[in-house]
A and B are shown apart, each in its own frame.
Chain A
Amino acid sequence: MASEEASGTAPSTSLYLPSFEYFRSELDEHHDRRERIIKASRDITAASKKIIFTLHRVRQLQAPLPQNVIKGNAQYYETISKQFASVSADLQGLNAHRYARQISGGCQEYFEAASFEHYLTNARILPYDEAAAQVKKLDAEGPGIELSMEDYILGIYDMTGELMKFAITFMATNQALPAISSPAEGGNVSQRNLLTDMRDLRSALESLDAGYGPFAKDVDKKADVMRASVEKVEKALYGLTVRGAERPKGWMPDVEAGRALEVEG
């Protein structure tokens, strides 16, 4: 075999090393960036879950948040803001979409928290433009992060799960669905409550045509969980209507049985 090396060219094993050294440094840079973003996304998800957890202590719909909830959540918003700022430079230009799947979990969970909070206080869906502006503001000193339309929609799907939990807890303590007062657009007062809102949301989400591709697959998965959430509230309302008077105050319907269905962050 030694005779092959004598062809006058450089020793054969080093022939492609310069190319591969370049590849290595490029791939290392990519993997490092990717890991930074995954880590930030996880921290954002964890902090957002804590915010949602605190929000579930709220007992009133369509009212300003209690001071203790605002105070309790301030630290988590700070964490989220810090984490977004730490990776915003990594998510600019070409890289904004390159790492979309890595930051997506954090964005969705954050938006889930933000839209749940918005719904609790306003009984409204946080529109995309406002949500995107909020996310951008989390990195006030940096270039900011883009909330994708996909993450917005997936976040709304997840939010229906929170609405369900809120409704069930509310019904257990108040023996009634959370009512919502809002003048309808024509001027008449509409009969809204949390369940009618959830049904509206369900029908709006179901009428969205997600097309095809990875996003459509994500939507399919979340759609089942979303439908299950609406049905849990409907079942709880059924129980309240049929047997409600027989239950001791504070009794909670068994909604935990179906939890395995839930897909979170």
Chain B
Amino acid sequence: METNRANMTQTGIFEDLQRKIDEDTAVKDQLRDIVQSIEKHDRTTQSILSRSHSTPSSELQPVIQAAEANIQQEVKAIGQLSEVASKYPYYKFNYAWSRQMQDACFSILLCGYLGGLGKGQTNDPLFKIEQVGEIMAVPVNLKDRDAFHLTIEEYLLALVSLIEELARLARNSVTLGDYRRPLEISRFIKDVHAGFQILNLKNDTLRKRSDGIKYRVKDVEDVVYDLSLRGLLPKE
């Protein structure tokens, strides 16, 4: 068989191809290990942050501190990923980590919204994409060179996750007796929704996921309505 093959395809063609495939597979293996460690750290961060649903705002500080510490672990793993991934064309392998970068971005946005990562002192509860990039210590929306970065799509998808999480938090805040937070969340989600509405989205994941934002806006409005009907909204 081998000698026959040499007749049709010059010797070495398929061997060369196999070598190229194997090189890519080795890169994918290496990336997968790092991506898995990001995933593992993020799962812990998420489980810490989910305690916010059952913790009154006044006692949130320890939760935030624990989440911050764990986000530092994530950032370290992202640093490793950035170092390895930057050796190869970014978009060749980005499918391998895009989901995990979204999740890590979501953790940072949520932790920031709750007042962590230095967000407590500012008026605006939302980290801009550049600020998320600074926290992750990676560039964002890179255009002029081919290296690891956080993309706009990843940031926006994380923002949709944040809205979904906050809609849940609005209801749970009421259960905890916090009637101020649903109002803040309502205002915040409307602001972000207004932003999403000016985007020209194509029929892709971002479109599908951002379509759900309007229902979250309504969910939180319903909570605020319920509170106002009963005279429970805080007076300012």
Residues of A within 8 A of B191 (CB): 12-13, 15-16
Known: A19-B129, A201-B8. A24 touches B3 (CB 8 A): no
B156 within 8 A of A: yes
Q: When the two chains form their complex, are residues A197 and B21 in contact, meaning their CB atoms are under 8 A apart?
A: no
B25 within 8 A of A: yes
Q: When the two chains form their complex, are residues B124 and A204 in contact, meaning their CB atoms are under 8 A apart?
A: no
Closest chain A residue to B95, Cβ basis: A214
Q: When the two chains form their complex, are residues B5 and A208 in contact, meaning their CB atoms are under 8 A apart?
A: no
Closest chain B residue to A6, Cβ basis: B236
With an 8 Å Cβ cutoff, the count of chain B residues facing the other chain is: 54
Q: Give Cα distance in the complex from A214 to B28, angstroms.
A: 12
Q: When the two chains form their complex, are residues A97 and B91 in contact, meaning their CB atoms are under 8 A apart?
A: yes
Known: A27-B199, A192-B7. A127 touches B129 (CB 8 A): no
Interface residues in B8-60 (C-beta closer than 8 Å to A): 8-11, 13-14, 16-18, 20-22, 24-25, 28
Q: Give Cα distance in the complex from A197 to B21, angstroms.
A: 23
Partner of B28, one of A24, A93, A153, A212: A212
Partner of A16, one of B96, B141, B195: B195
Residues of B within 8 A of A192 (CB): 4, 7-8
Q: Give Cα distance in the complex from A9 to B123, angstroms.
A: 9
Residues of A within 8 A of B230 (CB): none
Q: When the two chains form their complex, are residues B142 and A204 in contact, meaning their CB atoms are under 8 A apart?
A: no
Interface residues in A147-187 (C-beta closer than 8 Å to B): 149, 152-153, 182, 184-186
Q: Give Cα distance in the complex from A21 to B195, angstroms.
A: 8
Known: A3-B236, A97-B91. A208 touches B9 (CB 8 A): no
Known: A23-B156, A124-B10, A125-B10. A185 touches B3 (CB 8 A): yes
Q: Give Cα distance in the complex from A182 to B126, angstroms.
A: 70
Known: A19-B195, A203-B1. A128 touches B13 (CB 8 A): yes
Q: Give Cα distance in the complex from A196 to B8, angstroms.
A: 9
CB distance from B98 to the nearest CB of A (A): 12
Residues of A within 8 A of B5 (CB): 200, 203-204
Q: When the two chains form their complex, are residues B199 and A149 in contact, meaning their CB atoms are under 8 A apart?
A: no
Residues of B within 8 A of A31 (CB): 200, 202
Closest chain A residue to B201, Cβ basis: A27
Residues of A within 8 A of B89 (CB): 94, 96-97
Q: When the two chains form their complex, are residues B126 and A16 in contact, meaning their CB atoms are under 8 A apart?
A: yes
Q: When the two chains form their complex, are residues A212 and B195 in contact, meaning their CB atoms are under 8 A apart?
A: no
Residues of A within 8 A of B201 (CB): 27
Q: When the two chains form their complex, are residues B8 and A197 in contact, meaning their CB atoms are under 8 A apart?
A: yes
Residues of A within 8 A of B9 (CB): 124-125, 127, 200-201, 204
Interface residues of B (CB under 8 A from A): 1, 3-11, 13-14, 16-18, 20-22, 24-25, 28, 89-92, 95-96, 123-124, 126, 128-129, 141-143, 145-146, 152-153, 156, 183, 187, 190-192, 194-196, 198-202, 236
6 contacts between A and B (CB under 8 A): A15-B191, A17-B195, A94-B90, A100-B92, A184-B3, A213-B28
